Structure 1
Amino acid sequence: MTPNFDSIRPYYDAEANAAIRTIVNDPMLEAMMGFTFPSDTQEHWKNLMLHTHSLRDFQINFIYPAVRKVLEKSSDGLSTGGFEVLEPNTAYLFISNHRDIILDTSLLNACLYENGLVLTTSAIGDNLIQKPFLHTLSRLNRNFAIKRGLQGRALLESSQLVSAYIRKSLLQENRSVWTAQREGRTKDGNDATHKGVLKMLTLAENDSDAFGYFKKIKIVPVSISYEYDPTDVLKMPELLAKSRDEKYVKSENEDFLNLLRGIIGTKKRIHIQVNGILDQEIYQIAESGQNLGEKLSSLAELIDAKICGGYKLWPSNYVAHDLLYKDHEYVDKYTAGEKDAFEKRLLERVDPKNQLMVQNFLSMYANPVNNQKLALSRS
């Protein structure tokens, strides 16, 4: 029996126009489009939107220009690498590190569109789309929901449904899929693939060899790096709680504030690196004689090596590393001006008397340097 995906799926094209009509006069959409099309009239963009009847048209005519405007206003530009290995009309499972709630997937899709490649359907935690407007917008932007806070049987059933949806997208609809390498964003700069994410992907595989699923799809590890993390200071409370071994409880509007800060906050330069298609490596793991758990661990380590190895290290990362370890190992990787700018950012966001906070802030930027060094030493 075909699973019912209604509780998690994006809109179908046939539902797009009706959904648009429910939000076209929403103040949040008006603000978003006013930002995207500053010289346009509300009447004009609303008329175009009311005549939109597919998710692709909505993404290309409204979301894509919004992303380009965000880049123009809050960054020093986006660079890319590795997209030439991807082929048109081909579905890929993009597994990436995750730093920003909305931008990670939006920027990847902008790059896919500019390269004539299949856009993704993208995972998003349902905790981020509780507001009706955001829920509708995310479904129009081809997001599928991951239900958070479940346990036991409910968690298993939810994971099975998501797995089946991803499998259907990749193998039946020829639709690319984006998922983060772990639940939630990386807060401390240590990008690590959770084996549970890979396990979830295999749940819909009917074959007795669950790992065989990975031979049927095309996995592409992606590295996303921001010179400045626009939400760095917002991640501090959770990092402090973790360092004290305390349970962290989010404030009521924390996710929404993180979302907004990620969009409008300063990022400086951004780089997205496609780290090849895992093909021969998957077959080698499949034929290794390991049990499923060991195979998933090997695949997680492989994805980590690709993501960390392909991560674009910026002057901010090298400055933070030298400040954290109180040395000058990477002094040739940044200028005095770049160091001054980073130190100014640090002092603006963190109380210099709070050494734990300073250490957490610096580690967030320095850990990718250590992780890449380790990944390259193993390759």
Structure 2
Amino acid sequence: MSKFDSIRPFYDSEVNEALCSSLNHPMMKAMMNFTFPDTEEEVWKEQLKKTHSIRDFQVNFVYQSIMKVLEKSSDGLTTSGFEKLEPNTSYLFISNHRDIILDTSLLNVSLFDHGLVMTASAIGDNLVQKDFVLNLSKLNRNFLVQRGLTPRELLQSSKLMSEYMYHLLSKENRSVWIAQREGRTKDGNDATHQGVLKMLGMASDEKEVTDFFKKIKIVPVSISYEYDPTDALKMPQLLAQAKDEVYIKNKNEDFITLLSGIIGQKKRIHIHVGNVINKELDYIKIHNDNTNKQVQALANVIDDSILQHYKLWPTNYIAYDILNNTTQYSQFYTTEEKQLFQRRFEMRIDTDNKTLRDGFLAMYANPVVNKMKYNNAE
């Protein structure tokens, strides 16, 4: 038994059996009927029976599914920065996190379109409680982040995960995606948690952690949706936080959020990949005398890249102006766009509740506030 068996995706040798066992599952049928509406059931079943690798499954099925999602629930995906990456090269992508499934799926679509190595991606085990969803995630090269652990278990789990990611990057030439923090951003404030970087550094075989970070080729990724399809679903948690209450999720909440992200309206989407963090690590090494300071400095570099390259949409400027009762950014949106946003906003939450109203608006407005710090809001 490999030490990574508890968290790893399927090996190619396991793919066919997993697919054949899922052929008649209602969710597989729903996914295939959505993706290939004009194709007879027997046709896609035969194709799945002939699929023996994750890459074939991703390229022939998942890629097509994501294209259909974009067609049905968005006004298109644009990208920038991918031309700077080298083919046949593995990178560690660290990104802001808005949507459970789409963030990584859209990154992989973009990597595939640019002829680059696709990622293995981290996913919380709380999101794959249903057998079919777990199967599908392992077929899509997701590896598990174990949640709800004791401090001792967390330490062991973090070490295992860091070793697995380093194994993928260094031995399998496989790129890796991980979010800059645990869980999706609920308030639009994208910030890299030092704990994520410390966990990555656990696999270091270098005297200086900065040399290890250089070796794994960290690339910051900014992903921005014009409309967050799960915006209203994030409100109960913000409400609980405002009341200083512990938020407890409903039984199927993660699954509902997962589906809402896929089918909900997103309008335009943009993904930007930053430069590989390299020279900055030399500077960090010279100017910081301990690991904690070095990790904090690296988190700042990642944040600077993500926030500077975050694509601001009319919805962000509208929310900022409504929240602050100003017309400061009115040149960035039309009256019609503002009315559409307000209508959506009023339909999705109780606008008489100030906490909900301000929380919803801040989720869209905070990227403007964050970008203003760089004096180049665009």
User: Shorter-chain TM-score: what band?
Assistant: over 0.9
Whether the 8 Å CA contact 2:225–2:266 is kept in 1: the answer is: yes
Whether the 8 Å CA contact 2:80–2:273 is kept in 1: the answer is: yes
How far apart, CA to CA, are the structure 2 residues paired with 1:218 and 1:105? 18
What is the Cα deviation at residue 50 of structure 1? 0.5
Provide the secondary structure at the position in 1 that maps to 2:312: coil
Q: Tell me if 1:366 matches 2:352.
A: no
Provide the secondary structure at the position in 1 that maps to 2:100: coil
Q: CA offsets per residue over residues 181-240 of structure 1, 9 Å max, x none?
A: 000000000000000000000111133323321021211100000000000000000011
1:125 equivalent in structure 2? 124
Alignment-mate amino acid for residue 339 of structure 1:
K
2:167 equivalent in structure 1? 168
Q: Tell me if 1:185 matches 2:184.
A: yes
Provide the secondary structure at the position in 2 that maps to 1:79: strand
Provide the secondary structure at the position in 2 that maps to 1:228: coil
1:75 equivalent in structure 2? 74
Alignment-mate amino acid for residue 131 of structure 2:
P
* TM-score computed with the length of structure 1 as normaliser: 0.98
Q: Tell me if 1:197 matches 2:196.
A: yes
Structure 1 residues not aligned, in runs of 5+: none
TM alignment of 1:200-239, pairs within 5 A:
200-239=199-238
1:350 equivalent in structure 2? 349
How far apart, CA to CA, are the structure 1 residues paired with 2:247 and 2:374? 30
Q: Tell me if 1:275 matches 2:269.
A: no
Alignment-mate amino acid for residue 365 of structure 1:
Y
Matched residue count: 377
Alignment-mate amino acid for residue 257 of structure 1:
I
Q: Tell me if 1:31 matches 2:2.
A: no
How far apart, CA to CA, are the structure 2 residues paired with 1:368 and 1:186? 11
Alignment-mate amino acid for residue 313 of structure 2:
W
2:46 equivalent in structure 1? 47
What is the Cα deviation at residue 274 of structure 1? 0.9
How far apart, CA to CA, are the structure 2 residues paired with 1:14 and 1:29? 20
Whether the 8 Å CA contact 2:214–2:277 is kept in 1: the answer is: no
How far apart, CA to CA, are the structure 1 residues paired with 2:31 and 2:93? 27
1:98 equivalent in structure 2? 97
Q: Tell me if 1:14 matches 2:16.
A: no
Whether the 8 Å CA contact 1:3–1:161 is kept in 2: the answer is: no
Going from structure 1 to structure 2, the CA distance change for 1:299 and 1:375 (only over 3 Å counts) comes to farther
How far apart, CA to CA, are the structure 2 residues paired with 1:184 and 1:376? 29
1:144 equivalent in structure 2? 143
Structure 2 residues not aligned, in runs of 5+: none
1:322 equivalent in structure 2? 321
Provide the secondary structure at the position in 2 that maps to 1:287: helix
Deviation above 3 Å: which 4+ runs of structure 1?
A: none
Provide the secondary structure at the position in 2 that maps to 1:17: helix
How far apart, CA to CA, are the structure 1 residues paired with 2:362 and 2:375? 20
1:336 equivalent in structure 2? 335
Q: What is the percentage of aligned positions where both structures have the same residue?
A: 58
What is the Cα deviation at residue 3 of structure 1? 6.3
Alignment-mate amino acid for residue 85 of structure 2:
L
Whether the 8 Å CA contact 2:270–2:311 is kept in 1: the answer is: yes
